Amino acid sequence: MKKVLALTFIMIIFLSGCSFGSYSYSDSFFAMDTYMSVTANGANAQSAVKKAKKQVLRLENLLSAHKEKSEVYRLNKNGSEKLSNDTIKVIKNALKFSRLTNGAFNPAMLPVTKLWGFPDKKYRVPKKSEIENALKLAKPEKISVNKNEVTLNLKGEEIDLGAIAKGYTSSKIIEIFKREGIESGIVNLGGNVQTLGAKPDGSLWTVAIENPDKNSEYLGKLKIKDKAVVTSGGYERNFTKNGKMYHHILNPENGYPAENGLSSVTVISEDGTLSDALSTSLFVMGKNGAERFYKKSEKDFDIILYTEGGKLTVSQGIADSFNSQLDFDIVKKD
């Protein structure tokens, strides 16, 4: 009879095996002007997610250009500030991507985005002369970093790290997960998705790419692990004035919303910061510019481009992991 009891016990363990082996913990909350979900799988999941959330709120209080008392807010106000390691790192990254993209990524556009009313949501179409004047301040090359001190060398120059902060944050969360011994997790910071490892059952994560026309099917589904997926598009934030739509991704060359036929750009890489920064930059570059940049770049990333005409282009590195009901072209490295 003892053997039978032992066997019964083993059977019970077999049947409930999945709930013993994989413990999962999630939390959703509002931060950085968006809605976030953080999920970790593993014994330490709860503590890892709690630490992740704390980190998000800490970074928001450092990096937001619109929160009074944040480090970036103080820097913009005073022109020169001693900053914490994280802020310095994000600023250095922003300047690096600005050089790498030949100015398509520009962290110093805040004086211009303010004219359009994007930060405070009091939208208006500025006069051309206003834009031209504000553009004179949008010079990332006039920002200097000396150890832990950053100086904005033009009077009235202001930075906004919004196009890179969420990517940096998701990478930081993945670091926390790893430190906590988590091997599987997924983070969605308002559409910035980053995954750690594979799913608990060993299969790949499925990340759908939003269709700018939200009343239709997703653009497609990606099967990934250990990757950050970030999509940028004019559909995310915009306003309409006199029948014309104006969106929030401004072209640093002229200070107007980037209009070049692209509807959305998705960048897939192992680095959340890179995916975030490049998705915005490639959107500004337009389809031809984005493809050219991808072909020539030494950085390891993949792209999904969707044009206003409904044309879908995917880079070779992810073509086999991408599934779509739409036909798509494949772009290859030079």
Residue ranges in contact with another protein by CB under 8 A: 1, 3-4, 7-8, 11, 14-15, 28-30, 33-35, 37, 121, 186, 188, 191-193, 195, 199, 205-211, 214-218, 221, 229-231, 233, 236-237, 264, 266
| Least distance to another protein, CB of residue 218, Å | 6
| Least distance to another protein, CB of residue 121, Å | 4
If the CB atoms of residues 111 and 233 are measured against another protein, the closer one turns out to be 233
If the CB atoms of residues 121 and 147 are measured against another protein, the closer one turns out to be 121
| Least distance to another protein, CB of residue 199, Å | 7
Show the beta-strand stretches assigned E in the chain: 24-31, 34-41, 80-82, 143-146, 149-152, 184-189, 192-196, 205-209, 220-224, 228-233, 238-241, 244-247, 262-269, 302-307, 312-315, 322-323, 328-331
| Least distance to another protein, CB of residue 177, Å | 15
- How far apart are alpha carbons 82 and 71 in whole angstroms? 9
DSSP 330: E
If the CB atoms of residues 146 and 242 are measured against another protein, the closer one turns out to be 242
CA atoms in the 13 A half-sphere facing the CB of 74: 14
Q: What is the DSSP string of 143-156?
A: EEEETTEEEE-STT
If the CB atoms of residues 64 and 98 are measured against another protein, the closer one turns out to be 64
Q: Please, what is the angle between helix 71-78 and helix 45-63, to 10°?
A: 10
If the CB atoms of residues 69 and 214 are measured against another protein, the closer one turns out to be 214
Pairing of strands 262-269, 220-224: unpaired
- Beta-bridge mates of residue 303: 267
- How far apart are alpha carbons 93 and 1 in whole angstroms? 67
If the CB atoms of residues 152 and 305 are measured against another protein, the closer one turns out to be 305
Q: Which of 266, 237, 232 is nearest to 118 (CA)?
A: 237
Pairing of strands 192-196, 149-152: unpaired
- How far apart are alpha carbons 252 and 303 in whole angstroms? 22
Q: Kindly report the length of the chain.
A: 334
| Least distance to another protein, CB of residue 181, Å | 21
If the CB atoms of residues 216 and 242 are measured against another protein, the closer one turns out to be 216
List, in sequence order, the alpha helices (H) in 120-202. 128-135, 162-179
3-class secondary-structure state, position 296: helix
| Least distance to another protein, CB of residue 100, Å | 22
| Least distance to another protein, CB of residue 231, Å | 5
| Least distance to another protein, CB of residue 229, Å | 4
If the CB atoms of residues 154 and 208 are measured against another protein, the closer one turns out to be 208
